[in-house]
Chains A and B, each alone.
Chain A
Amino acid sequence: MSAVRAEWTKLRSVPRWVATFLGALVLTVGLSALAASGSTTDANEHPDFVTGPHGDAVTDGFGFAHQAVTGDTTMTVHVTGLARAATERAESGAPGTAVPTTPWTDIAAGITLKAGTEAGSSYVSVLLTGSHGVRLQGDFTHDVAGSAAHGDRWLRLTRTGGTVTGYESADGTSWTRIGALTPAAIPPRAEIGMAVSAAPVLHVSRGGGGSSVGGHPGRASATFEDVTLEPATDGTWQGTAVTMPTPADQPAKVGGSTAPTPRVLTASGDTSTVTGSGKVGPQRPDDDVVEGALLGVVAGLMALICVGVLFGTSEYRRGMIRTTFAATPRRGRVLAAKALVLGGAAFAVSLVAVVVAFVVAVPILQDHGMAPPAFPSPSLGDPAVVRALVLAALFMTGVTLVALAVGMLLRRTAPAITLTIVLLVLPLVAGTILPGTSPRWLMYTTLAGGLATLRAQPPTDTLAEPWALIGPGAGIGVVASYAAVGLALAWWQLRRRDA
């Protein structure tokens, strides 16, 4: 305890270090605000989304062979032969690396109950996907996983009052319930039918200082057999391509070639083949408002690294370490006290810095177009925001502790600061130059990965910033490992080496 108080006195009694802590705060907030005012987007003026039942940005496009039903109903199908269209497979030699699919961006075929054929309307679907098994999805946000089956599956969707339940079966006789959803706005009279979707195939090309994302529309078809509808209707299946509205000021773009749109529904006997193109799901931009509001962290870290290293190396100038060890002979305790004091101070300063940066920069970003509906509006109460802010402060703390450990290990200021900054920043620069997703391993192995903590959105391959390739947990894990290993090495060396 006395060692902690001694280290605290050392830290606060050097005016330059106190000033540097304040500098870290000012740099974090200032640069965040500056970077925010340098960010603009026209995502709301030229939307590539429609507004979903919950008011968020969604995309809605698929092939729908449907008829109207009223009230409670049950539909059963047997889905086989879900595959991408042949023309599309030929195109897959596109540049860059294919972005891995999610349950929302995979090809899918199944039963959809939907308020109407207008894009963005409320729906529930039970779907067999290409590689994410069976899913029960609804209203562009809810996603319940079923079995991991693929290729051939019986599916059933039952509407009972306001609730829609999904079932699956391998043989059409023994059924497993997947789950139930309550859609936001499906009127009593709604459309039900066979649906096939295929999200655009994205290829990301990274390297040479930036990233570019290319995509071409996806197209898939599937065969439906043994289609039954209870109670039976006298209607017939009607094929409709549900599509996103074309912006008024843009000509309709058809990816690559202007091939005629194939028929949605081809029926032969008991077998129906449905072809669809488009994605049904959330259309959140990868750009992260929270991250955009915290970019100053990179600059604040520079100041913190400076203090962290100096707090370590200053012991070795003018032999102060001998005085320190004379006062507290247990060296491990000295190091623990140093880490505790520096870490505590760094965390307090960082937390204040990121919260202020968030409060200052988010309104600036929203002024510059990063506003609803295209972008979510983050608030200090959101769990994802709280997580990002706390992890960002911990990230800054971790880097400061790494700086302390490096300073104690190298005992010299210039190499220690250089090494820490290089470990933090150079992988970012390298990450934009290296091609493909190879920067991912750089993020998993260097301090730069810690920047993933700034993001509230899930990881993505499509952004230029390499840290978006990994999740916040991995990011803070890398930094924590560095800090732990660094401090352990410093501890070991302190005990072994002469002062």
Chain B
Amino acid sequence: MTPEHTTVTAPAAVPPGAGPAGAGEPSVPPPVPPPGTAFGRVVREARPYLRARTRVIALLGGWSLLEFAQTFLGGFAVARAIDSGFLDGAPATGLLWLAVAAVAALPAAVATRGVFAGLADLVEPLRDGLVRRAVARAIGTALTGPTAATTGSVSQITHQSEIARDGWAGLVLSLRSFVFTAAGALAGMAVLAPRLLLVTLPPLLLGLGLFLATLAPMAARQRAYLTADEAFAAHAGQTAAALRDIAAAGAAGRVVAEAGALAGEQAVQARSLARWAAVRIVALAVCGQLPPLLLLLAAPWLMRHGLTSGALVGAFTYLTYSLAPAVHALLGVLGTAAGRLVVVLDRFTGPAPLPPPPPGRAFVPPRTARPVAELRAVTFAYGPGARPVLDRLDLTVPSDGHLAVVGPSGSGKSTLAAVLAGVVPPTGGEVRWLGLATDALEPTAVRTLLPQRPFVFTGTLRENLRYLRPGARDREIAATVAAIGLDALAERLGGVDAPFDPGLLSQGERQLIALGRAHLTTAPLLILDEATSHLDPAAEALAESALAARAGALVVIAHRLTSAARAERVLVMDGADTVCGTPAELPARSALYRDLAGHWSHDPG
């Protein structure tokens, strides 16, 4: 169990931090979201992100000032053009004022570019952080969870981070546009006739307040809708992949009933959303369409106080031409995309812990005469109520021993390998390496564990072979290629330095590469957990002999009895019952061994 973890926070690149242990636990419940509302969680994590970017936000505001100027001049120039131009018998002056409005609009193009540059600085780091987190969470979940949910993880990395990126960009754009347009329009009206504000400001604030009041319940509906939609989609995905089994089990009725219920639930949420959309339209009207009416009502009073015809038209221009569209855009984004943004961002909240890398220079234990590994009364169970897989097992692996473990599937062989390698802690008893407690040593310096499913990544054969020992010399690699029987594969791939796509390799070839990796390591204990299952017997014999010839102990979770026959000692497992002996004496001592020998000799595989 490792006490230290690495926590990935959104913008930073893997800073070290402390987190709860859990890397090696066999099964961990899915991460429970921290308390509070989704909105609260998102805001809590957004705050430091925004605080770190005040300069970008200020720059964005600076560019947006041009938009403010454009809005301000738009209404003001119209007012002046009418008052001192078209209605004053001076059409040229009127045209001149309109030209001012046109010129004021020209920098908008430049401003928009500046705004988008600032936007990129605000949006791209968010996506980077989300992807880092999603990758960390995918790895962390796969390390601890029972099933590797590849599809969901990849969707979070590619699809959901994009939804967040677009939603966040839309929110920034419309919010910024609203703020500066509203400021420009209000400033314009204040300059034309300050009393205009008395008439237009109250409904604007009222409408915004009304809308803000509906925001929380609307966002909740939005979340409920998305949740229902995803529940239906998950069910549909399962159904689509299981048509044969549904037909064979006669479960069509149940499946349709479930689909109908989920679709119905989603429709309920969609209808509720439609009701809130109607409410939103009313709030929007109070904001955007009530002010012109009030202006008409108050106009005689305003005109008595010196409001000119041009100023009146200018005020209407501000209200209908500038303000209404900005309000419309903002409320539109807040009502739809923002809800989605919160839902998606909330999936990224919370820490994404990763176990730390092994220390650069690990304590390399001295080779002693002590057994390389010992199990003392080791017990392992998957849960407090579950039957133990290993029950008070004692086992000693001498420093140059060769042990094979056999037994039917589910007899605990892989669990034994994991416990022996210190990947999972035993629920009872003690594991000792070189006479020391396991947590006193860096596991990778003591043992190499090769699982059944090998990890081969896109790259060259040399890179893949060096995975467990980055410092391996070319000479050693060449020796390993020959010893393990990798030469044919290396030739087919075009040499050890030719990049290849692992998808083009068979499972057997992948296992062979992993075996080569293990051959290069210097750890005194090598554990193969059915790591030769996809090899033919001859290839298996060659690779296993090469690994047995390597300095140190070899423990083989056997896939075939031929593999057990090569070992010095064999451990036969059947549930918690175990028998240990030499290959020669076991047929007499273990009925299961006889059984395995009988079937295996008939049915190689």
Whether chains A and B associate is no
Interface on A for B, CB 8 Å cutoff? none
